[in-house]
Amino acid sequence: MDKQQLDALPLYVQKALHPDFVFLIQPNLIQHFPARNWQREQFLTALDERLGEKYRLSTWHGYAVAIAEEKDCIAIIPKFEHL
């Protein structure tokens, strides 16, 4: 996945982005899980668990994103602009 595919997310998904959650975007599946009151290190641990240790961090529309290198998955972390 890439940022162009994120731009194609349905508007209802884009409006649902909230700092208390992490959103996992896959080609045929969109999931979110709670991350209320998490610190930076907790987000990084969760990314390692869900994306594997090989991902690159970037920004999309003011949100931190992690793009998996070995899986077809992107995590959106609305709480941060940069991790």
The answer, yes or no, to whether residue 24 has pLDDT greater than 70, is: yes
Task: Encode 46-72: b = buried (16+ Cβ within 10 Å), e = exposed.
Answer: bbeebbeeebeebebeebbbbbbeeee
pLDDT digits (tens, 9 = 90+) for 28-80: 999 999 999 999 999 999 999 999 989 999 999 999 999 999 999 999 999 99
Checking if the pLDDT of 18 tops 80, the result is yes
Task: Confirm if 23 and 32 have CB atoms less than 8 A apart.
Answer: yes
Residue 13 has φ and ψ, to the nearest 5°, of -75, -45
Rounded to an integer, the average pLDDT of 12-22 is: 94
Section 9-30 average pLDDT: 93
Helix segments in the chain, DSSP class H: 3-7, 11-16, 40-51
Weakest mean pLDDT among 2-11, 14-23, 32-41, 73-82: 2-11
Hunting for tokens 């209802």 — which residue is that? Answer: 12
Question: Are the C-beta atoms of residues 23 and 76 closer than 8 Å to each other?
Answer: yes
